[in-house]
Each structure stands twice: as C-alpha cells, then as structure tokens.
Amino acid sequence: MEPVTHLSRQIVDGNNVPHLVRECFRIAVDEKPGPVHLELPEDIAAEEVDRVATWVQEATDAATELLCGGERVSDTVYAPTVLLNPPDDAKVSQEEIFGPVGVLYTYDDIDDALARANAPDLFFQAAIFTRDVDTAFSASRRLKGMAVMVNDHTAFRVDWMPFGGHRQSGLGAGGIGPSMRDMTLERMVVFKTDI
C-alpha cells in the first residue's frame, strides 16, 4: 500500500462530519480494523515540516477547528492532521499544502460547495460523491478540474488518461495522446504531377 503523503481539500455535507471525524481519527492513530494503513513518510526537508506547521498554525489561529494531529513528530515528520472549516483566506484554503493535512469544509447548499471547490487558483482534478446522476452530471460540468471523478477519489489514474491543470496549476494536458501530439511535427506535402 502506498503511504499517505498528502491529503486534499474535502467539501462535505455538514451531516457527515461526525462520521468523517471518527474515520479521520481512526486513520490518524492507525487503529485497526480497517482497509486503511497509515505510514508516516518523512518529508523531504525539515524546512517543509516547518512550512506545514506554519500553515496549520495560521489556520488554527483563525478559529479553524483542529480535529486531529497538528504537531511535529520529528524534524522531518508532521503528524497526520485534519482541519475543519478554515477561513477562505488561509493558505490551507488557497494553496496545496503538500503535507499530511486534510482540510474539511461543510456545506448546506451544493451551489456553495461547488463555488468553494472552484475558488482556489490551483486546480488539477475534482471529485464528487453522489447517488444522484443529475447531481453528478451537473457538478461535472461546473467543477473546474481538468478531470472530474464521480464516486472515486482524485488520485485515480490510468496511463492513457490525460492529466493536467489549468489556472496556476499549468496549461494544457499531459499523457500519452497529448505528449504524442506535442512531439509530432505536422507537415503537408503537395504533389503536382503531369497528367
């Protein structure tokens, strides 16, 4: 199983928060039984752990609820952390943290949830979990991710699948097809024959 190296922003129905809090705590403390096994990978450098700690502290100073974690395990490891409803202007709301931090936001209205999901300038993929096919199609049209997963997480990937970002996350798509087009020089040859 791959280690969990970073989590993403999750926008959840407020009614699901108690269940998610229990699951996040179970995962963070590596309680058994369950399909999730959490390994604590070392971050690349102690400076990155400092950065993650600073961003989490900024969020908690702004009245964000710290559900679990929020502390340095060692010079190069930060504890799995889950934050609930940080303000929109917090760095954890605006940028990808690239650390073991999950951010949960509650919503009551799907339009508000989609607006929040589309707010950051960094955008690769998005996901929606729903049993309603109309909601799935509507959200898929409105979410700004280069790929939208329905009832699966954003880490889903197959080799032939285009991958990319837009806004501040990049321009265009990568993958086998786009890469072949990028490396192909299209030319035209015109023949004139004496017929």
Examine residue 69 and state whether it is found in any structural domain, yes or no.
Answer: yes
Sign of CA pseudo-dihedral 85, 87, 90, 96: positive
Give the integer Cα–Cα distance in Å for 155 and 87.
25
User: What is residue 42's predicted lDDT score, i.e. its pLDDT?
Assistant: 62
User: What is residue 47's predicted lDDT score, i.e. its pLDDT?
Assistant: 92
Examine residue 2 and state whether it is found in any structural domain, yes or no.
Answer: no
Examine residue 168 and state whether it is found in any structural domain, yes or no.
Answer: no
Give the residue-averaged pLDDT of 15-42: 59
Q: Which two tokens stand for residue 86?
A: 């940080």
Name the burial class of residue 77, with classes exposed (0-12), middle (13-18) and buried (19+) by CB atoms within 10 angstroms of its CB: middle
pLDDT band at 6 (very low <50, low <70, confident <90, very high): very low
pLDDT of residue 3 exceeding 50, the answer is no
Examine residue 180 and state whether it is found in any structural domain, yes or no.
Answer: no
Residues 115-162 pLDDT 10s = 888 888 777 778 888 899 999 999 999 988 778 889 887 777 777 676
User: What is residue 45's predicted lDDT score, i.e. its pLDDT?
Assistant: 85
Give the residue-averaged pLDDT of 11-30: 65
User: What is residue 21's predicted lDDT score, i.e. its pLDDT?
Assistant: 66
pLDDT band at 168 (very low <50, low <70, confident <90, very high): low
Q: Answer for the pair 92, 51: CB distance below 8 angstroms, yes or no.
A: no
CATH at 61: 3.40.309.10
Give the residue-averaged pLDDT of 96-117: 87
Residues 29-85 pLDDT 10s = 555 544 444 556 665 789 999 999 999 999 999 989 998 889 998 899 888 888 999
Examine residue 135 and state whether it is found in any structural domain, yes or no.
Answer: yes
Examine residue 98 and state whether it is found in any structural domain, yes or no.
Answer: yes
Q: Answer for the pair 40, 73: CB distance below 8 angstroms, yes or no.
A: yes
What's the predicted TM-score (pTM) here? 0.71
Length of the chain measured in residues: 195
Examine residue 184 and state whether it is found in any structural domain, yes or no.
Answer: no
Q: Which residue has the higher pLDDT, 4 or 65?
A: 65
Residue 34: DSSP 8-state:
S
Examine residue 21 and state whether it is found in any structural domain, yes or no.
Answer: yes
Structural domain span for residue 43: 9-159
Give the integer Cα–Cα distance in Å for 154 and 157.
8
Give the residue-averaged pLDDT of 10-33: 63
| Counted domains in the chain | 1
